[in-house]
Amino acid sequence: MYKFFVNDKPLLLLNELSNAVAEMQLPIKQYNTDTKLMDLVRKMEDSKDAGLVLLCEDPEKVFTKLLSKFTTIHAGGGIVYNEKGQLLIMKRLGKWDLPKGKIDPGETREEAAMREVEEECGLSPLTIQRFFGNTYHSYKLQGHRFCKLTHWYIMNTSYEGELTPQLEESITEVKWVDPKELDVETLNTYESIRSLLKEALAN
């Protein structure tokens, strides 16, 4: 399954409807050669629906075609745990989020992900445990459509000092939480982050 967020609503591309996806009760559309992907994107931007399921014979091919319609911006992000097993979360623009940001010229994805965590949350050192996965979400800027492709890494830190939110990035709070006590379903966060947290905490 491929997941692409439009206005923080999931566009799911898959070749067979699973029970988990069916339970989401999203509108379902069958992809064919006449389907105009950007028309679907525009409808999702204006729709009050919570998302859309697109059934495709070849989801990978359709997903690649969808991405070709956007200018892709690469970013790196961290899912960070301390030695107590607590998870790092931060509040940005009033919603709980995870540290992430654009990859600077000359940086590797891993370097960018660690730098963003250090800058946005004020902690180091960090160790990357493993690559976790990618998220994709679209946005419009000055009449152009972009896809932010964020490369996520599971990280560990031994840092025990005070956490410092990067105020200039509209981050107002950073804290450690017990993953077992975190109610992801009711957390005031973005749907793309909620989906990511569900997958991360299930592993």
Q: Nearest 10 degrees: CA dihedral of 21, 27, 31, 36?
A: -130
Q: In tens digits, what is the pLDDT along the chain, a chain of 203 residues?
A: 999 999 999 999 999 999 989 889 999 999 998 999 999 999 999 999 999 999 999 999 999 999 999 999 999 999 999 999 999 999 999 999 999 999 999 999 999 999 999 999 999 999 999 999 999 999 988 889 999 999 999 999 999 999 999 999 999 999 999 999 999 999 999 999 999 999 999 97
Q: How many structural domains is the chain composed of?
A: 2
Pairing of strands 127-141, 2-6: parallel
Residue 20 is predicted with a pLDDT of: 87
Same domain membership, residue 183 and residue 90: yes
CATH number, residue 188:
3.90.79.10
| Residues near 165 by beta carbon (within 8 Å), at least 6 away in sequence | 90, 91, 120, 121, 122, 171, 172, 173, 174
Residue 101 is predicted with a pLDDT of: 97
- What span, in angstroms and rounded, lies between the C-alpha atoms of 131 and 77? 10
Boundary-marking domain end, from 67, 95, 121? 67
Containing structural domain, residue 172: 74-202
Tokens 């690559």 label which residue? 131
pTM exceeds 0.85? yes
Amino acid code (one letter) for 18: S
Same domain membership, residue 175 and residue 142: yes
Boundary-marking domain end, from 67, 101, 122? 67
Same domain membership, residue 47 and residue 79: no
Residue 85 is predicted with a pLDDT of: 97
Same domain membership, residue 171 and residue 94: yes
Same domain membership, residue 186 and residue 116: yes
- What span, in angstroms and rounded, lies between the C-alpha atoms of 101 and 113? 7
Residue 143 is predicted with a pLDDT of: 85
SS3 197: helix
Boundary-marking domain end, from 67, 86, 113? 67
Same domain membership, residue 104 and residue 43: no
